[in-house]
Amino acid sequence: MNLLIVNDEIISAKGLKSGIQWADYGIDRVEVAFEARTAKKLLTEQQFDIILCDIEMPGESGIDLIRWVRQQELDAEVIFLTCHADFEFAQEAIRLKCRNYILVPAAYDVVAENVHE
């Protein structure tokens, strides 16, 4: 399985990539994008099974990105990883058929287990 991490907080994104032994959770490849534009490029070039995405980013939000993913009919599970406990964001995540909505800070093992489910 392939994982795409989308998060404008570079340290957080790199920490998620290197701080978890992804192979232990069935993940073969992990790519990182620091903005929606780069994520779209990666998503058009490669197959990803899971997208772990922040919501609030400069330019396009994570919500905008996942709307685009759904419009493109890409076959990827989505998990939002965000500090926003706002109910409207959670509702939109449900409408976009996201698998989960994890509030940060979250321990790496919690994130990894959610990706693995």
Helix, strand, or coil (residue 27): coil
* Confidence check: pLDDT of 117 > 80: no
Please report the pLDDT score of residue 97 as a whole number: 87
The structure's pTM equals: 0.92
Question: Which tens digits make up the pLDDT trace of 4-42?
Answer: 999 999 999 999 999 999 999 999 999 999 999 999 999
Three-class SS state of 76: coil
Give the integer Cα–Cα distance in Å for 37 and 104. 23
Is the pLDDT at 76 greater than 90? The verdict is yes
Bridge partner list, 80: 53, 101
